[in-house]
Amino acid sequence: MTTLKRIFLFLVGLCFALLLGSTASAQLEIDITKGNLDPTPIAVPDFIADSSAERDFGKKIAEVIRADLERSGLFRSLDPASFLETQTNIDYKPAFADWRVIKADALVSGRIRQESPSRILVEFRLWDIFAGEQLKGVRFATTPENWRRTAHKASDAIYEALTGETGYFDTRIVFIDERGPKINKQKRLAIMDQDGENPIYLLGGSDLVLTPRFSPSSQTITYMSYENDRPQVYLLDIETGRRELLGDFPGMTFAPQFSPNGDRLIMSMERRGNSDIYVMDLKSRSTQRLTTDPAIDVSGSFSPDGRKVVFNSDRGNSPQLYVMDADGKNVKRISFGKGRYSAPVWSPRGDKIAFVRSGGGKFGIGVMDVDGKNERILTNSYLDESPTWSPNGRVIIFSRAKQDRAGTTEIWSVDLTGQNLRKVETPGMASDPAWSPLLP
């Protein structure tokens, strides 16, 4: 029997308070739709605190915020050693001239106060240095254990204020942790914060587990497991640890993904060697068959409005991408470039589809419009696969396998623009990442 762990930590008593007000006339605006070759310089001093215990929090929170912003590729976090002004009270305006000298475009001045053993107050003001204006003021009340999530929430607020887009820092990534030699790998379902912190196993390691996906609306994961030597789709509630085999089908069920509001599951089912796409209503557990082609039909992914499905099929003799209505009608091929296409995922913004294209012995992650136009290949390697979108649709993370006898796998991240390619820290070898929605 697999041991399940209750792992979700509620953010107790977290409250947003825009008490410090914000001004509308922001001059500092970052366009994240373009490749950002010139990241915005931002200064994030350690959060001001009184006691040494509080100062420790203040330092760690600022470090997490600096790292979040830096990793986004849109910001360059300035070295605190270069700062001229040391603020002692965030309720006074900073000395803008001092920050202009070190070429900061934005400043985050924050404060941390421990009100009781179980409650800390974290607040910050975001300043536009050139305009000399406050862009945002936020206060969080939370438990001391939640300092890291609070820092991510602060990063999200800063990102949002400066880009006009929702952030993605207070999120998690579910993935497959891989151990052992290539010909005998142990693959285990695991989850970690978006920045690689707090990795936790979600299941025991006895069964092969693949392709987890997050529900967009709850802390539920769907995945495929070879439990009892039967490859089938499961649900796992990561708050309660409740795990459930989804239906009892004669053939393999695989490649599951949630519908945009989480009430249905799209997956493939195999009968006598032939794979087709089905949708299951999670309440009634009734299934509807969407494809009937004798070809491989796999990797269905809903559009965010739930009206369309993109999927992978080799009905045209090589694997390509197709879009159909959510009832299986009006199938149209959308991939026409050179090579073979697979693993499509619809962007949460609705305007793009990410996929894997292979050809010439290489595999890369690409994006295209939902009608197949404006195809752009973002990465290229021996084997890049399993793309998944950040909840704001601006970043894609994916698996990268190296061409080696060890079967090394890693998780990488790239912007929608193809910029900012970087490795995501994982506890060991890792594959099949799936991004959570923004946490509540």
Partner 1 sequence: MKKYLMAGAALLVLSACATQPEPELMPEPEPVVEVQPQIIEPEPIPEAQPLPPVVEPFVDPNLPIPGSEDDFAFQSGGEPRVFFGYDQFNLSPEAQDVLRRQANWLNIYQDATATIEGHADERGTREYNLALGARRADSVKAFLVSQGVAPNRLRTISYGKERPIDPRANEAGWSRNRNGHTNLRLGGIG
Q: Which residues bind partner 1 (CB under 8 A)?
A: 181-183, 185, 187, 208, 210-211, 229-231, 251-252, 254-255, 268, 270, 272-275, 296-299, 312, 314, 318-319, 342-343, 356, 358, 363, 382-383, 385-386, 401-407, 431-432
* Residue 343: CB minimum distance to partner 1, A: 5
Give the Cα separation of 221 and 203 in Å (integer): 12
C-beta of 134 vs 399, nearer to partner 1? 399
C-beta of 146 vs 379, nearer to partner 1? 379
C-beta of 47 vs 322, nearer to partner 1? 322
* Residue 206: CB minimum distance to partner 1, A: 15
Give the Cα separation of 142 and 114 in Å (integer): 10
C-beta of 117 vs 361, nearer to partner 1? 361
* Residue 50: CB minimum distance to partner 1, A: 52
* Residue 229: CB minimum distance to partner 1, A: 7
Residue type, 134: Q
Q: Write out the H or E segment, with its range, that includes residue 100.
A: helix 96-101
Give the Cα separation of 415 and 364 in Å (integer): 14
Q: Write out the H or E segment, with its range, that includes residue 153.
A: helix 147-163
C-beta of 22 vs 274, nearer to partner 1? 274
Q: Where are the alpha helices (DSSP H) in 2-71?
A: 52-71
C-beta of 83 vs 363, nearer to partner 1? 363
* Residue 345: CB minimum distance to partner 1, A: 11
User: How big is the chain by its Cα radius of gyration, in Å?
Assistant: 23
Cβ neighbors of 348 (< 8 A, separation 6 or more) are 216, 304, 389, 391, 392, 393
* Angle at 413 (CA atoms; ends 408, 418), nearest 5 degrees: 120
Secondary structure of residue 147 in the 3-state scheme: helix
* Residue 337: CB minimum distance to partner 1, A: 16
C-beta of 219 vs 431, nearer to partner 1? 431
Give me the residues paired with residue 125 across strands: 109, 137
Secondary structure of residue 184 in the 3-state scheme: helix
* Residue 227: CB minimum distance to partner 1, A: 13
In which region does residue 196 sit, left (phi positive, over 0), alpha (psi from -120 to 50) or beta (all else)?
Answer: left
Give me the residues paired with residue 299 across strands: none
* Residue 351: CB minimum distance to partner 1, A: 23
C-beta of 354 vs 439, nearer to partner 1? 354
Give the Cα separation of 337 and 397 in Å (integer): 22
Specify whether the CB–CB gap between 15 and 141 falls below 8 A: yes
* Residue 407: CB minimum distance to partner 1, A: 7
Give the Cα separation of 136 and 39 in Å (integer): 20
C-beta of 120 vs 203, nearer to partner 1? 203
C-beta of 119 vs 362, nearer to partner 1? 362
* Residue 297: CB minimum distance to partner 1, A: 8
Could you tell me the two tokens for 22?
Answer: 């914000």
- For 310, half-sphere exposure in the C-beta direction (CA atoms, 13 angstrom radius) is 28
Give the Cα separation of 392 and 133 in Å (integer): 27
